[in-house]
Amino acid sequence: MPNKKIIFNRSFLFLFISNFLVFVGFEMLLPILPAYLLSMNASSIQAGLVTTIFTIGAVLIRPFAGYFLIDSKRKSLAVGASAALSIITFIYPYLNIVWLFLVMRPFHGAAWGVSTTANSTMVVDLIPKSRLGEGMGYFSVSTTIGAIIAPSIGIFIYNSFSFDILIWSSAALSLLAVIALQFVYSPAPVKREKRPFQFWDMIYEKEVWFPALLTVITTLGFGAIITFLVLFGQQKGLEHIFLFFLVNATAATLLRPFTGKWYDKKGPWQIIIVSAILGFLSLVVLSFAANDLQLIIAAILFGAGYGTVMPCLQTWAVQKVSEEKSGAANATFFSSFDVGVGISAFGLGFLAEWISLELIFRIVSLSFIIVAVLVYKDYRNQKKR
């Protein structure tokens, strides 16, 4: 049983490792699968469906995951989902027909949806409630760093070796995540009388609508980065584009102890406003980047901005509900993340046909300003109440 007075107990550390492995294993496939499908003579529409169908699977399964997490064994769900991720990923090289590949995507999305929701719900049980902001901030490092560095890892493996090696690497990471979960102690949730399952109530937890909306808006900036940064670097002659991912992850990690404590002491409003402004500046600087120094400055700002806003929004969502609804709150948060990425990939991909990538980054930077304004208005409303 973990010591509830500290954050970094054994269970927390192994859950952190497992979640990190899941995110890297999944995110490293994102930039490769559409290109691989095109190599199978798929149409552009079919290649685009790789992300869309996956997102649908993840979003539709999360209400069920959130409901079962209320009183089911959370560790069992996490282990089963991670194992499913490994098995489904391993099958991909053997799907030589485009429609079979697409048929498998919603199942992959469903496994991903259960895994991320279960892990984030389990960690709430392991963190002292008085240090929830700090603890969730530390745990979210496994999410943000995994999501940020994985695309570059995937591209490197694919270009240096083969698609099969990439798939086996991804499947192995999910399998290692299963092993790490064996060292996690997950207390059985308190048995409570559950309300009847209502799909629409579970897919959207009403009490966390505001952090969920902010998550969708914030994720537009992340979507622009993972979709266009490599192409932007090629167009601008930036040979060390990997520096952005490396420095961004480092900045987000180093700041996490301070930002988590700031959240616990002052609440979500002040830190989100400041971080959103930094996120805005990061995309503006990036749009003008012409050398490595400017790229590094943009990366530091993005790590401090986006890398801080997202764990704050997740913590805020969890704090807005009772303990038994933490699974539903996490499900809503991650569904909002997926929706934001989906909107970004589709909308910005369309815009990229007409305007430059520099202008896309500047347009998307305004999403952070919108977040800052909305949070400030919420702060003023709370103060009046």
Q: What per-residue confidence (pLDDT) applies to 313?
A: 93
pLDDT at 298: 97
Q: Say whether pTM exceeds 0.85.
A: no
| Across 285-307, average pLDDT | 94
- pLDDT of amino acid 189: 63
**Domains, the chain, ordered by start:** 8-186 (1.20.1250.20), 203-385 (1.20.1250.20)
Please check whether residue 71 is in contact with residue 192, taking contact to mean a CB–CB distance below 8 angstroms.
Answer: yes
Residues in the chain: 385
Burial class (CB in 10 A: 0-12, 13-18, 19+), 380: exposed
Give the Cα separation of 107 and 301 in Å (integer): 36
pLDDT > 60? residue 3: no
Neighbours of 302 (CB within 10 A): 27
How high does pLDDT run on average in the chain?
A: 85
The pLDDT confidence band at residue 276, using thresholds 50, 70 and 90, is: very high
pLDDT digits (tens, 9 = 90+) for 339-373: 887 788 777 777 877 888 899 999 999 999 999 99
Band of the pLDDT at 184, cuts 50, 70, 90? very high
- Given a cut of 80, whether residue 28 has pLDDT beyond it is yes
Cα–Cα distances in Å, from 108 out to 86, 88, 105, 332, 345? 9, 6, 5, 19, 19
Using CA atoms, how far apart are residues 256 and 352, in angstroms rounded to an integer? 34
pLDDT of residue 12: 93
Give me the pLDDT at residue 271, please: 95
Q: Calculate what percentage of the chain has a pLDDT beyond 70.
A: 91
Q: What are the pLDDT digits (tens) for 241-274?
A: 778 888 888 888 888 888 888 988 888 999 999 9
Residues 6+ apart with CB under 8 A from 256: 137, 138, 140, 141, 307, 308, 311
> What percent of the chain is predicted at pLDDT more than 90?
37
Three-class DSSP category at 96: coil
**Residue written as token pair 């989906």:** 342
Examine the pLDDT at 188 and tell me if it is beyond 70.
no
CB 230 within 8 A of CB 155: yes
With bands split at pLDDT 50, 70 and 90, how would you rate the model's confidence at 215? Answer: very high
pLDDT of residue 374: 97
Across 212-234, average pLDDT: 86
26 burial via Cβ count (<10 Å: 0-12, 13-18, 19+): buried
Residue 71 is predicted with a pLDDT of 62
Kindly state the average pLDDT of the residues 172-179.
Answer: 97
- Mean pLDDT over residues 120-125, rounded? 86
Q: Tell me the DSSP string of 128-192.
A: -GGGHHHHHHHHHHHHHHHHHHHHHHHHHHHHHS-HHHHHHHHHHHHHHHHHHHTT---PPPPP-
pLDDT in tens, 66-120: 777 766 678 889 999 999 999 999 999 888 888 888 899 899 999 999 998 899 8
What is the per-residue pLDDT for 191?
61
Maximum separation of any 2 CA atoms in the chain, in Å: 61
Residue 194 near residue 314, CB atoms below 8 Å: no
Encode pLDDT of 130-141 as tens digits.
788 788 878 988
- For residue 369, what pLDDT is reported? 97
Beta-carbon contacts of residue 276 (< 8 Å; ≥ 6 apart):
218, 305, 309, 368, 369, 371, 372, 375
**According to the model, what pLDDT value does residue 353 have?**
75
Position 89 scores a pLDDT of 94
